[in-house]
Chain A
Amino acid sequence: MPRASDEASTLRVENLDVTYGRAVSALRSVSLDVPPGSVVTLLGANGAGKTTLLRAVSGTLRLHRGAVTAGGIRYGDTALDGQDPVAAVRAGVVQVPEGRRVFAGLTVDENLRSGGLGLGRRTPERIKEGRDRVFALFPRLAERTKQQAGLLSGGEQQMLAMGRALMAAPRLLLLDEPSLGLAPQMVERIADVIREINAQGTSVLLVEQNAGMALALADHAHVLEVGEVRLSGPAGELARTDAVRRLYLGETSETGGTGETGETGETGETGETRGTRGTGAAAPAGTERGVA
Chain B
Amino acid sequence: MTGLLDTLLAGLALGAVYALVALGFVIIFKASHVMNFAHGSMLLLGGYLTAVLHEHLGFAAALAVGVLATAALAGAVDRVLLQRLPQDPKAAHVATIVTIGIDILLVTDLARRIGGDLLSLGDPWGDKVRTLGPVTVPDSRLAAVAVSALVIGAVFALFRYSRWGLSLRCAAEDTEAAALQGVRLGRTRMLAWCLAGALAALAAVFLAAFPATGLERTTGQIALKAFPAAILGGLASPVGALAGSLVIGLTEAFVITYQSDLHVLGDGLSDVAPYVVMILVLLVRPNGLFGAKGAVRV
Contact = CB atoms under 8 A, between A and B. Distances in A.
Given A101-B174, A150-B295, A268-B298, A58 B166 contact: no
Interface string A221-255: 00000000000000000000000000000000000
Interface in A101-136: 101-106, 110, 113-119, 121
B82 to A, nearest CB: 17
A103 B182 contact: no
A114 B296 contact: no
Contact of A118 (B169, B174, B184, B298): B184
Contacts of A165: 180
B163 A121 contact: yes
Given A117-B166, A151-B297, A97 B180 contact: yes
B176 interface: yes
A152 interface: yes
Interface in B167-196: 167, 169-170, 173-184
A120 to B, nearest CB: 9
Interface residues of B, number: 23
A106 B170 CA distance: 8
A292 B265 CA distance: 60
B115 interface: no
A41 B94 CA distance: 42
B176 A110 contact: no
A89 B182 contact: yes
A85 B180 CA distance: 6
Nearest to B87: A63
- Most chain A CB within 10 A, of B169, B176, B179, is at B179
A94 interface: yes
Contact of B178 (A58, A104, A113, A114): A114
Given A103-B174, A105-B173, A106-B173, A164 B298 contact: no
Nearest to B163: A117
Interface string A143-174: 00000101111100100000011001000000
Nearest to B164: A117
B295 A114 contact: no
Nearest to B294: A105
Contact of A85 (B170, B182, B295, B296): B182
Contacts of A157: 297
Contact of A117 (B173, B175, B183): B183
A97 B176 contact: yes
A105 B295 CA distance: 9
Given A103-B174, A113-B166, A267 B298 contact: yes
A84 B163 CA distance: 19
A130 to B, nearest CB: 12
Contacts of B294: 104-105, 148, 150
A267 B296 CA distance: 12
Contacts of B173: 103-106
A207 to B, nearest CB: 14
A-B pairs, 9 with minimum CB distance: A118-B182, A89-B182, A150-B296, A101-B177, A268-B298, A85-B179, A103-B173, A86-B182, A104-B296
6 contacts: A63-B175, A84-B179, A85-B180, A103-B170, A117-B181, A151-B297
Given A60-B180, A88-B182, 17 more contacts: A63-B179, A102-B177, A103-B173, A105-B169, A105-B173, A114-B183, A117-B163, A118-B182, A118-B184, A148-B294, A150-B294, A150-B296, A150-B297, A154-B298, A164-B181, A267-B298, A269-B298
